[in-house]
Amino acid sequence: MDYQTLLELSRKESHLDDKTIKYVLKYYLKVEPTLKMKIGQTKIDDYLRQLQKINEGYPIQYIVGNVDFYGYNFKVKPGVLIPRFETEQLVFHTKKYINKYFSNKVSLLDIGTGTGVIGLTLKKEVPKIDVTMVDISAKALKLAKVNASHLNEDVTIYKSDMLDEVIRLNEKFDIIISNPPYLTKDEEIMEVVRRYEPSKALYGGKKGLKYYKVILANAKKVLKDRGLIAFEIGSSQTLDIIKIANKYFKDSPYEIKKDFQGRDRMFFLFYNLND
Ligand SMILES: C[S@@+](CC[C@H](N)C(=O)[O-])C[C@H]1O[C@@H](n2cnc3c(N)ncnc32)[C@H](O)[C@@H]1O
């Protein structure tokens, strides 16, 4: 079958728009297609099976195997969270604060790194940073390493249950950043997310606050004598997180930032950082 016929067949077999079909086909065929290009039957059968999965809600990113984030391309795989557009805002504001508060070389710890989007993007954007990325998931760590090499960045990646291994190694950082699992079990989320994305990356205990508590309670053990803590947060968690922050960092100022829809989505804490 040629590419044009396959394109027409895809339109009949799926409810996807043309742009998406061509995007999936291009990645699936792994070449820039031409209309008359011939495609073997085994490949077509395989592709149609993938198309069917997408029709049923399976994430396209897991089929094409990559996603764009902050202008960089990251590999994604089932078992590791697909980076979200909102997280680009966390990177954006953190970059701004790094440039404002740190003039020399800085060290940054990305907790729950997943694909590595936060740590690696910040390394790309602010080369003076030394980046360490940790996760509890072996799949995530493997993928973060693939992405580091794909983006040609020299970073440190290792397994840690939140801060456990970092504390054991007695490492100290200027910046702690995390987009931890923060959903509650009964939170209404899209069925495709619940079904296809790793639950270990999504849920943060009864009120979704478990990991913020763990990080804030232990942060002083891994922060230098001045530092920044940056979190992505759930839009209804602001007051709870401020309460936890006040418990462990009583006199430190903080800031909440909103996403493009006007919802609270980021929390920044300034520990001994002066304007
Ligand atoms: C919401 S995802 C964020 C992934 C990535 N940082 C991003 O922003 O796309 C949370 C990540 O935390 C990791 N994680 C869950 N529990 C953890 C733990 N106890 N210690 C370290 N990482 C953990 C998950 O494996 C997952 O990669």
59-85: average pLDDT? 96
- Tell me the per-residue pLDDT of 111-123, one tens digit each, with 9 for 90 and over: 999 999 999 999 9
Q: What are phi and psi of 189, to 5 degrees?
A: -130, 165
Question: Is the Cβ atom of 174 under 6 angstroms away from ligand 1?
Answer: no
Place of tokens 């968690």: 237
81 DSSP 8-state letter: P
Question: Is residue 209 scored above 90 in pLDDT?
Answer: yes
How does pLDDT run across 19-70, given as a tens digit for each residue?
889 988 888 788 888 888 899 999 899 889 989 999 888 999 999 999 999 9
| Model confidence band, residue 6 (pLDDT cutoffs 50, 70, 90) | very high
- The radius of gyration computed from the CA coordinates of the chain, to the nearest angstrom, equals 21
Give strand pairing partners of 258. Answer: 264
DSSP of 189-241, one letter per residue? --HHHHHHS-GGGTB-STTS-HHHHHHHHHHHHHEEEEEEEEEE--TT-HHHH
- CA distances to 2, 75, 213 from 31, rounded to whole Å, are 14, 17, 47
* Domain spans, the chain: 3-56, 77-271
Distance from Cα 161 to the centre of ligand 1, integer Å: 10
Q: Which amino acid is at 70?
A: Y
* Residue 201 Cβ contacting ligand 1 at under 6 Å: yes
CA distance 174 to 224: 6
For ligand 1, atom 7, name the residue with the nearest CA: 83
Please indicate whether residue 118, judged by its CB atom, sits closer than 6 Å to ligand 1.
Answer: yes
The predicted model gives 179-190 an average pLDDT of: 88
Q: What is the DSSP secondary structure assignment for residue 135, as one 8-state letter?
A: E
* Closest Cα to atom 8 of ligand 1: 179
Q: Which residue has the higher pLDDT, 13 or 262?
A: 262
Measured in whole angstroms, how far is the alpha carbon of residue 187 from the centre of its chain?
20
Tell me the three state secondary structure of residue 179. coil
Does 188 have pLDDT greater than 80? Answer: no
| Dist CA 91 CA 230 (whole Å) | 9
Mean pLDDT, the chain, integer: 94
**Is the four-CA dihedral 54, 83, 243, 255 of positive or negative sign?**
negative
Q: Say if residue 275's pLDDT is above 80.
A: no
Report the pLDDT averaged over residues 64-82. Answer: 96
**Is the per-residue pLDDT at 176 higher than 90?**
yes
Is the distance from the beta carbon of residue 181 to the nearest atom of ligand 1 less than 6 Å?
A: yes
Q: Which of 158, 182, 200, 209 is the best mutation target for the ligand 1 pocket, counting ligand atoms within 8 Å of the beta carbon and taking the most?
A: 200
Residue 268 pairs in a beta bridge with 230, 255
Distance 135 CA to ligand 1 centre (A): 6
| Block residue for tokens 């079904």 | 195
Q: CA 19 → CA 48, 57, 97, 127, distances in Å?
A: 17, 17, 37, 35
AA identity, residue 177: I
Q: What is the mean pLDDT of residues 218-233?
A: 98
Percent of the chain with pLDDT over 90: 80
The whole-number average pLDDT for the span 1-19 is 91
Considering the chain, what percentage of its residues have pLDDT values greater than 70?
A: 100
pLDDT band at 186 (very low <50, low <70, confident <90, very high): confident
- CA-nearest of 195, 227, 225, 5 to 94 is 227
Residue 117, ligand 1, Cβ within 6 A: yes
| CATH architecture assigned to 77-271 | 3-Layer(aba) Sandwich (3.40)
Q: What is the mean pLDDT of residues 225-250?
A: 97
Distances in Å between the Cα of 179 and the Cα atoms of 9, 11, 212 are 41, 37, 9
Pair type for strands 173-178 and 106-111:
parallel
What pLDDT is recorded for position 262?
96
Q: At what angle do helices 3-13 and 18-29 cross, to 10 degrees?
A: 130
Amino acid at 104: N
